[in-house]
Amino acid sequence: MALMEHSIDPRNGYCSATKTYYTLRDNISLPPQTTPLSVTDFVFSLLYSSPDFSLSSPVLIDSATHNSLSYSDLLHRVDSLSYSLSRHNSPALSVGDVALILSPPSFHVPVLYFSLLSLGVVVSPANPLSTQSELTHLLELAKPSVIFTVSSISSKLRSCNVPIILLDSPEFDSMLTHRATRPRVTIPQSNSAVIMYSSGTTGRVKGVELTHRNFIALLAGLHHRKMKALEEEEGKKGPAISLFFLPLFHVFGFFMLLRAVAMAETLVLMGRFDFEKMLEAVERYKVTYMPVSPPLVVALEKSELTQKYDLSSLEYLGCGGAPLGKEVAQRCKARFPNVEIGQGYGMTETGGGAASTAGPEESERYGSVGRLQENTQAKIVDPSTGEALPPGQEGELWLRSPTIMKGYVGDKEATAATFHPDGWLKTGDLCYFDSDGFLYIVDRLKELIKYKGYQVAPAELERLLLSHPEVADAAVIPYPDEEAGQIPMAFVVRKPESSITASHLMDFVAKEVSPYKRIRRVSFVNVIPKNPSGKILRRELVNQATSNPSKL
């Protein structure tokens, strides 16, 4: 063991003996695995120990109605709802049951999450806009014992033969008003806590099974890092106020909700996203922090609307969901010099976390998603040879960490294909580490364009297109070509009043890239389709391009 430690490069964490990258963060001691512990109990233990915790402080604010919920109210409602659900006649929920949740954001959703998790019920949140056929697939995967939804959505569930509890009903309201203590339930950390649904951008949606231990490990690392930062920044003002428009059914939104409560922060909930209403909320509530996706960073950097509002309270933008281009980050930082733009990388399969920047110095490594998080190891593996690679070389990112999923529910074949026998999760992302241990995401392996045998990363071309002052948004896809196999094709959203041409954009990119990477075809569109986390839905664009080529 001592020999291996000596062979780890302290600058980047790479061990030449094992060809493995080790985290440069502090490795955190986690609760013993044999100790029963739910995510709810762990989050609340961190909350009570937080120097910012106050029962009277707001935990949730509705940006539309300006209503708020205090920490005292949250804790009381969680106790009451947990008591009600454990005794509810139709059905009484117990450890291992699955609850499918289909709801727009509201104060009820976080209360429901914490209550179910405290009872050992597996939380399975899904997009409330899911179609009938999508819901059928989710029901087959999750096999829920109960569904929580709202009356406007319930009509889509009439034929499912699963008990339904409406969150906007008097019955549910009555469950929140008991003066009762939360039932104490023995929940092994290895028990499933959540079934999250993968984005489905490269195949059919899969149910990702994450355990209580996965989220405990993730939160322990984030909490340790924050406490360490507070020690180094004496006189730091009170708890963060974050504006939250991430979907709560997505892993990014889910774990950021858990994190915010564990850190005693205030969350301003925003339902339907509207850019100007977001700016209004920042000004009104003195928002200090926003978790964002790259398209929003682009909008902040380019929109003139930002000049109408006082955004001086903003201290930090935490960007995730998709790669953020170096040029976009630099321009946004130039426009908002007092705002730190941190980046992170994670997957539904890793509980939402794997790497991130920490502190202003690391955040200035524009284009990188940061360093490996606590208790995490990685490999960069050549997809062709299976050889593990040193810093500076591109390959598939493999991860090993206590935050990594149990597997895909009901899909042993997909689980086996995703895990190496040694426990490594194959991410499917083409990446590299630099000499200082910073991770860079090149693109999804499955999305690489094969031009005459060369591999072209769409994300690289998209970053270039977004650097053009007349481009509001862009996506690049493989377009079939008889001679080349595939050519890079761009879908571009022009900025208002722009009349930029396809040839101009192709020339613009050609000056910056090798000949094989040049964009050979451009289509102008009104919007780039994306999933809730900001990932481009390339399959939709490929289908659009190949089904109606004459209309492009």
Q: What is the DSSP string of 162-228?
A: S-EEETTSHHHHHHT----PPP-----TTSEEEEEE---TTSS--EEEEEHHHHHHHHHHHHHHHHH
Provide the phi-psi class of 226: left if phi over 0, else alpha when psi is between -120 and 50, else beta. alpha
Task: Return the pLDDT at 468.
Answer: 93
Q: Counting runs of H as helices and runs of E as strands, what totals does the chain give?
A: 17, 27
Task: Return the pLDDT at 548.
Answer: 72
CA dihedral 132, 136, 139, 140 (to 10 degrees): -170
Task: Return the pLDDT at 236.
Answer: 58
Task: Return the pLDDT at 13.
Answer: 96
Q: What is the DSSP letter of 314?
A: -
Q: CA-CA distance, 496 to 199, in Å (whole number)?
A: 30
Q: CA-CA distance, 368 to 434, in Å (whole number)?
A: 9
Pair of tokens at residue 546? 């190949």
Calculate the alpha carbon distances from 284 to 12, 71, 269, 274, 436 in Å.
42, 21, 13, 15, 40
Q: Taking a C-beta distance cutoff of 8 angstroms, is the pair 310, 283 a contact?
A: yes
One digit per residue, the tens of pLDDT, for the chain of length 552 reads 344 555 899 999 999 999 999 999 998 999 999 999 999 999 999 999 998 899 999 999 999 999 999 999 999 999 999 999 998 756 789 999 999 999 999 999 999 999 999 999 999 999 898 888 788 889 999 999 999 999 999 988 888 889 999 999 999 999 999 988 999 999 999 999 999 988 544 456 789 999 999 999 999 999 998 888 777 775 456 779 999 888 899 888 899 999 999 999 999 999 888 899 999 999 999 999 998 877 788 889 888 999 999 999 999 999 887 677 788 888 999 999 999 999 999 999 999 999 999 989 999 998 899 999 999 999 999 998 999 999 999 999 999 999 999 999 999 999 999 999 999 999 999 999 999 999 999 877 888 887 876 778 888 899 899 999 999 999 999 998 877 888 999 999 999 989 999 999 999 999 988 888 999 999 999 999 987 767 788 888 988 888 876 666
Q: Taking a C-beta distance cutoff of 8 angstroms, is the pair 381, 30 a contact?
A: no
Task: Return the pLDDT at 2.
Answer: 42
Q: What is the CA radius of gyration of the chain?
A: 23
Q: Taking a C-beta distance cutoff of 8 angstroms, is the pair 509, 474 a contact?
A: no
Task: Return the pLDDT at 46.
Answer: 96
Amino acid residing at 167: L
